[in-house]
Amino acid sequence: MDGARAAARRCTEELARGELRGPLHGVPFGAKDIFYSAGLRTEAGSRVLAGFVPAYDATAVARLKAAGAILLGKLHTTEFATFDPAPTHNPWNLEHTPGGSSSGSAAAVGARMAAAALGSQTAGSTLRPASYCGVAALKPTYGRVSAYGVIPVAWTQDHVGFMARSVEDLALLLQVTAGHDPADPNSSTERVPDYTGALTRRRAPRLGVLHQGFLDRADAEVARVTNDALARLERSGASVEAVKLPAHFETVYAACWTTVLVEAAAVHADLYRRHADLYRPRIREMVELGTLVPGDLYLRALRVRGRVRREVLPLLERVDALVTPTTPTPAPAGLAATGDPVFQAPWTALGLPTVTVPCGHSGSGLPLGLQLIARPFAEASLLATAGWCEDVLGRAPAPAL
């Protein structure tokens, strides 16, 4: 916190002189504890990395700082951003999970401890906790934001994500972090459009609602709140139609988890050989299972991902966004699990951009979210659509802490 206070004083002095570092001058943010941060411990929620202090910032952290933002500190994550839970509680109800793996990021923004936070998503680790904690979140297209300096889970599915109190804030965060990074071979050279400007061109969108595998898999309460939200959007001018997924869509789930297991085992191979006794049960199981998957099965999983992506893209051309509940249930009670990523995993595996915005509350007062999915590199129109939905549905209030 001493560093954050010093940075805040510098920002105040610069502002008094009429100097602005960038569009996020003085804005406080937190970073999930898998993002390298120079001079601050980066331990990934694990005893394996206890005391590790990197010498440089992850690219996303560095770009936020360059835009004037102030890093408050590091936020809890599940161990190595997988499934062994963090000690974080849900700010809406301390007896419930905040989700994972970006547990601390969602809780910090939901509790108004930080204006924004960096998270990551390899299956559902940004949008799910954001929904549970009543905040907006964005997972951009794969490669849109550099993952350099972020401790990996699975290289071909890891995405940097953002959490904030509004869609406008998400657009600002993406604006200053998007773009090619020579240090990350997977970062895209696609042109970076004006995301913040796109929000001024909001219009009633065309929404494709996914019942198959999503609304029909949600519990009754989530389905009711989602349908109520869709009805409000339609009354306000949105075109809302049911759409069907391609026949082979369900195969993407197996492809997603096969890829994650194999790549996680490869990421941890050396550390696990030297420190297996320090790993917690869920990440230990992932690493050991991943070593048992034959190479040809991994390659088939990559081919399945590619085939499903090709089949889904024409559907995304017909609408501004596909729509699902963000989660199948409200945040589960207890801290032993982090919830089900089933509604995010396919879109993460396909590398597509997704947003969640709050859309209501459960009967017990827990926040629920609406997930929007768009075609690759369509973040500008996706954010405009999400901003329009947010205008109709409203933002979640602060929890009564």
Q: Torsion over CA of 391, 61, 150 and 47, rounded to 10 degrees?
A: -100
What's the pLDDT tens digit per position in 42-73? 999 999 999 999 999 999 999 999 999 999 99
Set out the domains of the chain in order of their start, with CATH numbers: 22-203+332-393 (3.90.1300.10), 251-298 (no CATH)
Please, what is the angle between helix 59-66 and helix 167-177, to 10°?
110
Distance CA 24, CA 42 (A): 24
Q: How confident is the model at residue 396 (pLDDT cuts 50, 70, 90)?
A: confident
Per-residue pLDDT, averaged over 236-255, amounts to 97
pLDDT of residue 341: 98
The encoded tokens of residue 263 equal 């790549």
Per-residue pLDDT, averaged over 179-184, amounts to 98
Q: How confident is the model at residue 12 (pLDDT cuts 50, 70, 90)?
A: confident
Residue 362, pLDDT > 80, answer yes
Residue 2, pLDDT > 80, answer no
Catalytic residue flag (residue 101): yes
Q: How confident is the model at residue 11 (pLDDT cuts 50, 70, 90)?
A: confident
- CA nearest 163: which of 136, 203, 132? 136
Distance CA 352, CA 349 (A): 8
Sheet with 70-75, side-by-side order of all strands: 70-75, 28-32, 116-121, 159-164, 136-139, 354-361, 367-373, 321-325, 206-210, 239-243
Distance CA 33, CA 74 (A): 5
Per DSSP, the three-state class of 159 is strand
Annotated catalytic residue: which of 46, 101, 131, 146?
101
Contact 295, 258 (CB under 8 A): no
Annotated catalytic residue: which of 46, 105, 125, 188?
125
**Which helix (H) or strand (E) covers residue 30, if one does?**
strand 28-32
Per-residue pLDDT, averaged over 342-358, amounts to 98
Q: If you ran DSSP here, which 8-state letter would residue 200 be given? A: G
What's the pLDDT tens digit per position in 269-305? 999 999 999 999 999 999 999 999 999 999 999 999 9
Distances (CA, A) of 59 to 8, 62, 182, 241, 367: 21, 5, 10, 40, 32
CB-based burial, 238-251: b 16+ in 10 Å, e otherwise: bebeebebbeebeb
Per DSSP, the three-state class of 9 is helix
Q: How confident is the model at residue 223 (pLDDT cuts 50, 70, 90)?
A: very high
Per DSSP, the three-state class of 29 is strand
Per DSSP, the three-state class of 43 is coil
Residue 401, pLDDT > 90, answer no
Catalytic residue flag (residue 65): no
The encoded tokens of residue 76 equal 């809890």
The encoded tokens of residue 8 equal 């805040």
Looking at per-residue confidence, does 14 or 98 come out higher? 98
Residue 124, pLDDT > 80, answer yes
pLDDT of residue 1: 66
Contact 337, 103 (CB under 8 A): no
Annotated catalytic residue: which of 32, 65, 74, 139?
32
